[in-house]
Amino acid sequence: MLGLTAGFDLVVPRLADMVEPLHAVYAESCLAPMERLLEQGNMKIDALFGLIRVRYVEADEIDRFDPRRLSFFNVNTRADLERAQQLAKEISDQ
């Protein structure tokens, strides 16, 4: 994603209508708009997107590097943890 930053303030993965801002690359130019939003009491990261130049990394681009989309896997439940442990075992067995 670092290679996609030229001409953009933010490069962020998007899967369908789901944006992944924790996996994004933010330029320093995002700081002033972020500060303005915070001063206004606006804590929603997607409010930033309309104020800056955004490059979305779409599903087809993501799939070339991460076809199983494990980069976006979250562990929120015991079942998720068990799945993560199984995935880790599969990878270590390769």
**Whole-model pTM over 0.85:** no
Under the banding of pLDDT at 50, 70 and 90, the label for residue 92 is confident
Q: Considering the chain, what percentage of its residues have pLDDT values greater than 90?
A: 85
Under the banding of pLDDT at 50, 70 and 90, the label for residue 94 is confident
> Domain ranges in the chain?
2-93
> 2-93 architecture in CATH?
Alpha-Beta Complex (3.90)
Nearest to 1, CA basis, from 30, 25, 27: 25
Q: What is the mean pLDDT of the chain?
A: 95
Q: Is the dihedral of CA 23, 29, 35, 37 positive or negative?
A: negative
Q: Which of 16-25, 34-43, 81-90 has the highest mean pLDDT?
A: 34-43
